[in-house]
Structure 1
């Protein structure tokens, strides 16, 4: 039986754990609070409390690093953590991986790594990122840290804006004024986030970087107003005037070429559970 550890049994990690368990994997994972650990364990997933503060804290977390496969899903919390704190977390984590039995790693990153300005074409994985030409330097440094001087096989997934279930984009702008509505979105449904990680694990795809973004890019305004109709919330009260310039779009062609099929390719049709 294949064994997989998921560091970060959160909004994406927990449904991934349940999916893999149904597929016959032996699944183990971590969460930062004991209360959450108890809830996860009662749902049928073996879990430990593990926290990077930035050094490792918890009990019994060494088991995480004994699995055949490891999924790292701990994005930087930019509102409450410094960039240095996140990178220190990854430094400790990488040291433990290099010393462990886990030799195949999926690292979840973000399309926020790409520059903020739009281009004539969509950003693809071969866009030449540098520390000076990047959307989020912390994400770039995190990826570089995981890629260099490693004793494991690695693939990186750059997720778009995660939506689905209770994450409803229109809720964040309900009743607000001067909302940006004229640009197109780079969203990803929760179910496709789970499916993309499973694709890497099940097909042994290593040494690759993939953008994972729904391939259809509707306007923000269209989505916000459809959300308001579907779940009965107020739409934005007003929008900013459309500006000249290009949308900042992210290409998902590479992962599509590897056989991935999006369950929800069009964010305009995302199902939600308010």
Structure 2
């Protein structure tokens, strides 16, 4: 039975744990509050920012997924969670007699500084300008230098169940300028989880994984296009002036490499993903 540790087992990690459990894998979920883990996921109660090895750490780890969520953009927290936390987990892992077959480290397309609408791939320079983005690059470097096979998965803006911020912004009144085009990238939560699952299964088949993958849907789109579409679905209109989405940067991320590996998104664009969310919300009110 394959054993996987999901360190930082929050929304993404829990959904991944459920999928892997269905495949017969033995799943360990590491988080501070393990009471919320789904049935069948074996708890590891630990604080990633603490160097002490948790008592429940398994003797065998076939695969390791590192996917914590900071919750806020704070440079000190990012350093503690994404860099030091990863170093702690790697140290615990290396105390075992056998190293994992592969590490997946979940990162962000925020490591890219491109903002002129350029197309971005895994080979594009990642020269983040923000402090948090620079720290994520440090974390990626720590993952790729861990001493056993590893891949970084840079996810774009995640939306889906419980992640309806843009829908609420549009519903409450939002201003999104048409010019200059502000390209945005996103991935539905379920597609992000499916990508992680797919890469683990490929590694388990001894397929050679790339060091980096972009987790995005098929269709980067301008914020004005996305918000206008949502407004039409909600029966409202965008404001001529007023509050804005508060986003910065403008780039178009390609998922070609992830697709070449055999993964394909269930929600190829914002229309399918947000459309299902709106439909589910309507059904919930009936």
Identify which of 216, 219, 228 aligns with 1:216. Answer: 219
Cα distance, 1:223 vs structure 2: 2.8
Identify which of 257, 261, 265 aligns with 1:262. Answer: 265
Cα distance, 1:75 vs structure 2: 4.2
Match of 2:186? 187
Give 5+ residue unaligned stretches, structure 1: none
TM-score of the pair, normalised by structure 1: 0.82
1:22 to 2:17 alignment: no
Cα distance, 1:229 vs structure 2: 5.3
Match of 1:69? 63
Match of 2:284? none
Alpha-carbon distance in structure 1 between the residues aligned to 2:99 and 2:72: 28
Asked if 1 retains the 8 angstrom alpha-carbon contact of 2:21 and 2:27, the reply is yes
Asked if 2 retains the 8 angstrom alpha-carbon contact of 1:114 and 1:134, the reply is no
Match of 1:144? 141
Change (3 A) 1:131 1:111: closer
For this pair of structures, how many residues does the alignment match? 261
Which secondary structure does the structure 2 equivalent of 1:136 belong to? helix
Change (3 A) 1:61 1:248: same
Cα distance, 1:226 vs structure 2: 3.9
Cα distance, 1:208 vs structure 2: 2.2
Asked if 2 retains the 8 angstrom alpha-carbon contact of 1:224 and 1:235, the reply is no
Residues 20-99 of structure 1 mapped to structure 2, 5 A cutoff: 20-33=20-33, 37-41=34-38, 43-56=39-52, 59-63=54-58, 66-80=60-74, 82=76, 83-86=78-81, 87-99=83-95
Cα distance, 1:253 vs structure 2: 0.8
- Cα root mean square deviation, aligned: 2.9
Asked if 1 retains the 8 angstrom alpha-carbon contact of 2:66 and 2:86, the reply is no
Change (3 A) 1:8 1:84: closer
Asked if 1 retains the 8 angstrom alpha-carbon contact of 2:182 and 2:223, the reply is yes
Asked if 2 retains the 8 angstrom alpha-carbon contact of 1:54 and 1:85, the reply is no
Match of 2:107? 109
Identify which of 104, 125, 130 aligns with 1:128. Answer: 125
Which secondary structure does the structure 1 equivalent of 2:57 belong to? helix
Cα distance, 1:195 vs structure 2: 0.9
Alpha-carbon distance in structure 2 between the residues aligned to 1:174 and 1:180: 17
Match of 1:253? 256
TM-score of the pair, normalised by structure 2: 0.79
Give 5+ residue unaligned stretches, structure 2: 282-286
Cα distance, 1:183 vs structure 2: 2.4
Which secondary structure does the structure 1 equivalent of 2:183 belong to? coil
Asked if 1 retains the 8 angstrom alpha-carbon contact of 2:114 and 2:250, the reply is no
Alpha-carbon distance in structure 2 between the residues aligned to 1:225 and 1:61: 49
Change (3 A) 1:177 1:196: closer
